[in-house]
Structure 1
Amino acid sequence: MDSLQAIEAIKRRLSLKEVVSRYVALKPAGRGRWKGLCPFHQEKTPSFYVDEEKGLFHCFGCKAGGDLIAFVERMEGLDFQAALERLAEEAGVELPRRGGVPNRRELYEVLRLAQAYFQEGLAAHPEARAYLEGRGLTPESVARFGLGYAPPRGEGLLAHLARQGVSPEEGLKAGVLAEKDGRYYDRFRGRITFPIKDHLGRIVAFTGRALGEEGPKYLNSPETPLFRKREVLFAFPEAKAKLREGRAIVVEGLFDAIALHQMGFPETVAVLGSGLSEEQARLLRTQEVREVYLAFDADEAGQKATLQSLDLETARKFLFYAVRLPAKDPGELLLHPEGPALFQKALEEALREREDRLQDLLLQVPLPPWPGAPVGDESQNREIKRVGAPPNFPFPPLDHVALLEKNGWWEPRISQVSGSRTYALRGDLARYEMALLHFALDFMAQKGFIPLTLPAYAREAAFVGTGHFPAYRDQVWPIAGTDLYLTGTAEVVLNALHSGEILKREELPKRYAGYAPAFRSEAGSFGKDVRGLLRVHQFHKVEQYVLTEASLEASDRAFEELLKNAEEILGLLELPYRLVEVSTGDMGPGKWRQVDLEVYLPSEGRYRETHSCSALLDWQARRAGLRYRDEEGRVRYAYTLNNTALATPRILAMLLENHQMEDGRVRVPGALVPYLGKEVLEPCG
């Protein structure tokens, strides 16, 4: 039979559709054709077709096409001859020999003879059997995976093959012999041998493990016409049946794979390098594997291999789980009396960790902003309007830090007690801060909001509900020894008040004004506003919060109300301010619309944010379980909105600088005089 006749015989005996189906999920496309997603490029709509009658495949997307041999060439990364030999072996077709070079069938026979020699070696060497027994392997596992032993003498296999009519060149080509300076010798000596099989269960290579710790621990066959380590998974033939259930456990040690099979995890396979290759991932997909549990060693190299695997382009086809082993490697668990239970627990923890990571990602999916938001980063924020003119002092004005120091309103020793970014006020300014908070609560009560004094801490679920977790976790301080965290705004507690309830439609809107001390770590603000009152760890805040029905009209009305309240407060404080429409890139992830109010700060000659008015539609409500029953009896998620009413001490910095007098004292706005009982803040001795 010549080459052309052999090729025709292969195509007659092998179905193109069946071969392609190992890699691609095909569906009938009519007239003897089949279609599926192209394996050679990313696509969502099938453009890859197989014509069984013509024996051809074609992709209308990437233009790949050809016959059975071309498909295997491209799919497996083989040259024409290697693809032909692989298909010939599967089809049982004898290829003509090329110039004395052994063909694939002859190489398989060499490897079969080597395997027989190694198994005889294991039977003849009790020290090798004792080593395997010491690793916890049963005789059944040793037999199932075909473990053997290469005796330490250097030419035993060479002689064995010669007696079977195998030349040294053929042994070298098969990867079981080595050659140096024209002398042939056994590649594996004094080692436990593991036969490496391809997806059809044929031996294609060996790995040898030294009994002692001298020299390299493992020795692998070189790559041959039959063997490329990126294309093979150890224990794949033994795992095939279980893999079809959709789950694979991938380890990096051959002993580890056998150990897990023995412990009751027959879906285990092992990589032959560091990490899962694209070809190996493709092999798993042929068995319709959907979930891959990576159980690489707990050392640094094993963790690195895990990360490499998770970065694969083909990983998008799987759900990956990283298993944190309770031992150095799975093989150690075989010697533990509770090894199977410990590994099962590790699998369950991997599932929980992945679900937690997925939940974290889902929680960070942003809300699409309203159409009127400027597109871009902070530089695209758009000024809406300015109210009030910045002061024109007839004297050189002081910044608020100088005013604090000049009037004795600042306790300088506090940083020695409480660290940086903290403050302590003295005299009239301490009373002024409390007056401001009292004023803000009174103002909000007059507007129909229910005032609340709230705790400055909450459980994690409350932070998840507002969106502070996971996005801004680094800004939040945990309370050691508890499941509580310090809040940076009363919004966190207010948003959780009705969590899990189903409110009546007529109860909406809920309008609250919550006061609580607030705490922020100010992570990422190194070097910013290090002096004074603008950026501190602890502050005081009265927060506006509205829970309303799920309609844009209701949300817009509440938004304008919250914005108007803040403007009126700034007007009563006699401060020049502006409104800024915040851009898409400067909003938080759950914002539908955000407008900031910024007050003029004379010492900087610019406006600084004091209020942030936000509409979040149902983004927070879905996270926090804020629901109501509408007029038709349907349960719906409510809409939430919030805005600052007043926050100190930042607003104090603006009040001090804008209302300072030539002698250094500070004028009190008329609206605050009833709360303070004086019109001017006096120095504190």
Structure 2
Amino acid sequence: MLDIKYIRENAVKIKEAAKNKNIKLDLDKLLKLDDKRKELQTEIDQLRAKRNELAKAAKGEKPTKEQIKQGKTIKTEIQDLEKKFKKSDDEYAAMMVIVPTITAKDVPIGKDETENVEIFRSQDPPKFDFPIKSHIELGRDLDIIDFDRGVKISGYRGYFLKNEGVSLAMAIMMHALNKLIAKGFKPMIPPTLVREFVLFGSGYFSGQEFNPAKDEIYKIENIEKEADGKVNKENRFLVGTAEPSLLAYYANEVLEEKDLPIKICGYSQCYRSEIGSYGKDTAGLYRVHEFMKIEQVCLAKADIKEADKLHQEMLAISKELHEDLELPYRVLQICTGDMSAGKYKMFDLEAWIPSQKRWGETGSASNFVDWQARRLKVRYKDKQGKVQPVFMLNNTALATPRTIISILENHQQKDGSVLVPKVLRKWMPGEVKVIKRK
């Protein structure tokens, strides 16, 4: 969400940003609605002042018939204007949430993901001198993934990790977590069951509120009783990443500039309905409803140069993690048409999937500048005493499913075994070097 004054001053650029991000936005209508709201509010305030004057004039005395008549007329006029104001304000609020951030000058202009730009490749995809297996085959042959029973227990896209598959997943998480702690990130295990404002504030709703037809989020329908016995009917949701919880940690707070930047990393279970991915990647671990992930977020002062520097630092950590795991990967700079409304700049990391002969996304690094902070009301006081929104950035460190896919497929051996990346072996029971057939 952007400031309306900023929107007015940058209307041409925002119209261009909306066009480039494929967002349908009638900015002229939004500005007219803002004018209308202000006019109505002024009229309401004037009538309230007039009503107060009448009350003051009749203070201590019985009001005259004329005063009573005027009072009723004013009350009716205020009620009518308040209805008009609410209608305009609701429409205004619905439009404000889709106003996009103006992207960085170096962001590629493109219609969709086909026009993202590769800016780095660690190495060419590996060549094998034997028939390769997919992670699905490897998981079954090595008895480390059970898809059949996963579907039986959980339904579509369900799975069990087992034996060395469990150790491998936890090793991935521990390596990423310890790497981030060493680089100055404060670790957290945040809530995965969150209130509505957390997901709206971080931009995970397509509009003002949850839309089950568009938002890849699970809503919890049950009603809970609080400790005092009162029934809580507030909506709760399962997060698809630790990012919303970590960003909302400081919601409605004012920080001090001296404490910025704040760097946090969080481990969480992640839940995604994949409502918009029907028919895509229906087998295996690539697109699942539940997984583990380490996320990193930064809260910075409103300085674009500092934010860009932090963005590059976060991206560098993700690259380093992929290199630690000896995975072929590349970095894409995301074009305007593949970016959500709030993003200023975005990079994706993709690891090679040999069985599919393609790259698969393993993480994203995004700079939202102040778009999320305005929604969440996370602000800071600068050295001059001015209070303003922080800048917010986020990045995937590592997530289990797609990292496991890439490790299994890229490190598979001719005999059907899989080499465990050296950096993960200390986290494996017995420091297992090779996952073999049972």
Deviation at 1:354, TM superposition (A): 6.0
Q: What is residue 69 of structure 2 aligned with on the other side?
A: none
Of residues 360, 368, 380, the one that matches 2:102 is 368
Deviation at 1:356, TM superposition (A): 4.1
1:382 correspondence with 2:117: yes
Deviation at 1:626, TM superposition (A): 1.1
- Residues of 1 paired with 2:88 and 2:150: CA distance? 45
Q: What is residue 477 of structure 1 aligned with on the other side?
A: 218
Deviation at 1:604, TM superposition (A): 1.4
Equivalence map 1:361-440=2 (5 Å): 361-377=95-111, 378-411=113-146, 412-440=148-176
1:428/1:683 contact within 8 Å kept: no
Deviation at 1:395, TM superposition (A): 0.5
Equivalence map 1:277-296=2 (5 Å): none
1:571 correspondence with 2:356: no
- Residues of 2 paired with 1:446 and 1:650: CA distance? 24
Deviation at 1:393, TM superposition (A): 1.0
- Residues of 1 paired with 2:410 and 2:363: CA distance? 17
**2:164 maps to amino acid:** D
**1:392 maps to amino acid:** K
1:594/1:613 contact within 8 Å kept: yes
1:660 correspondence with 2:412: yes
Deviation at 1:401, TM superposition (A): 0.8
Q: What is residue 630 of structure 1 aligned with on the other side?
A: 382
**1:581 maps to amino acid:** Q
- Residues of 1 paired with 2:86 and 2:395: CA distance? 36
Relative to structure 1, is the Cα distance of residues 667 and 364 closer, same or farther in structure 2, using a 3 angstrom cutoff?
Answer: same
Taking every aligned residue pair, what percent have the same amino acid on both sides?
39
**2:205 maps to amino acid:** F
1:577/1:599 contact within 8 Å kept: yes
Deviation at 1:470, TM superposition (A): 3.3
**1:670 maps to amino acid:** K
2:416/2:436 contact within 8 Å kept: no
- Which residues of structure 1 form unaligned runs of 5+? 1-43, 45-244, 247-263, 269-288, 292-343
Relative to structure 1, is the Cα distance of residues 554 and 424 closer, same or farther in structure 2, using a 3 angstrom cutoff?
Answer: same
- Residues of 1 paired with 2:142 and 2:88: CA distance? 57
Give the match's secondary structure for 1:596: strand
Q: What is residue 98 of structure 1 aligned with on the other side?
A: none
CA offsets 1:597-645 (integer angstroms, 9 cap, x no match): 1111111111111111101111111111111111111111110111000
Aligned residues: 349
Q: What is residue 454 of structure 1 aligned with on the other side?
A: 190
- Residues of 2 paired with 1:611 and 1:590: CA distance? 18
Relative to structure 1, is the Cα distance of residues 630 and 680 closer, same or farther in structure 2, using a 3 angstrom cutoff?
Answer: same
Give the match's secondary structure for 1:674: helix
- Residues of 1 paired with 2:277 and 2:86: CA distance? 34
Give the match's secondary structure for 2:406: helix
- Residues of 1 paired with 2:397 and 2:325: CA distance? 12
1:539 correspondence with 2:300: no
Of residues 329, 339, 343, the one that matches 1:587 is 339
- Residues of 2 paired with 1:585 and 1:562: CA distance? 23
- Residues of 2 paired with 1:454 and 1:432: CA distance? 22
Give the match's secondary structure for 1:526: coil
Give the match's secondary structure for 1:597: strand
| Stretches (4+) displaced over 3 A | 347-358, 470-473
**2:221 maps to amino acid:** A
Q: What is residue 683 of structure 1 aligned with on the other side?
A: 437
CA offsets 1:49-80 (integer angstroms, 9 cap, x no match): xxxxxxxxxxxxxxxxxxxxxxxxxxxxxxxx
Deviation at 1:574, TM superposition (A): 0.4
Deviation at 1:651, TM superposition (A): 1.1
1:521 correspondence with 2:285: no
1:520/1:537 contact within 8 Å kept: yes
- Residues of 2 paired with 1:478 and 1:351: CA distance? 31
Q: TM-score, normalised by structure 1?
A: 0.49
- Which residues of structure 2 form unaligned runs of 5+? 1-27, 29-42, 45-71, 223-233
1:464 correspondence with 2:200: yes
Deviation at 1:349, TM superposition (A): 8.2
Give the match's secondary structure for 1:649: helix
Deviation at 1:515, TM superposition (A): 0.9
- Residues of 1 paired with 2:166 and 2:84: CA distance? 53
Pairwise CA RMSD: 2.5
Q: What is residue 53 of structure 2 aligned with on the other side?
A: none
Of residues 256, 264, 273, the one that matches 1:504 is 256
2:142/2:435 contact within 8 Å kept: no
- Residues of 1 paired with 2:269 and 2:138: CA distance? 25
1:369/1:593 contact within 8 Å kept: yes
- Residues of 1 paired with 2:177 and 2:408: CA distance? 21
Relative to structure 1, is the Cα distance of residues 352 and 424 closer, same or farther in structure 2, using a 3 angstrom cutoff?
Answer: farther
Equivalence map 1:2-17=2 (5 Å): none
Q: What is residue 35 of structure 2 aligned with on the other side?
A: none
Give the match's secondary structure for 1:416: helix
Relative to structure 1, is the Cα distance of residues 655 and 357 closer, same or farther in structure 2, using a 3 angstrom cutoff?
Answer: farther
Q: What is residue 231 of structure 2 aligned with on the other side?
A: none
Relative to structure 1, is the Cα distance of residues 432 and 354 closer, same or farther in structure 2, using a 3 angstrom cutoff?
Answer: farther
CA offsets 1:498-524 (integer angstroms, 9 cap, x no match): 111111111000000011111111012
Normalized per residue, the structure richer in helix is 2
Moved more, 411-420 or 608-617: 411-420
- Residues of 1 paired with 2:82 and 2:200: CA distance? 24
1:534/1:653 contact within 8 Å kept: yes
Deviation at 1:389, TM superposition (A): 2.9
2:195/2:236 contact within 8 Å kept: yes
Give the match's secondary structure for 1:478: strand
**2:170 maps to amino acid:** M
Q: What is residue 619 of structure 1 aligned with on the other side?
A: 371
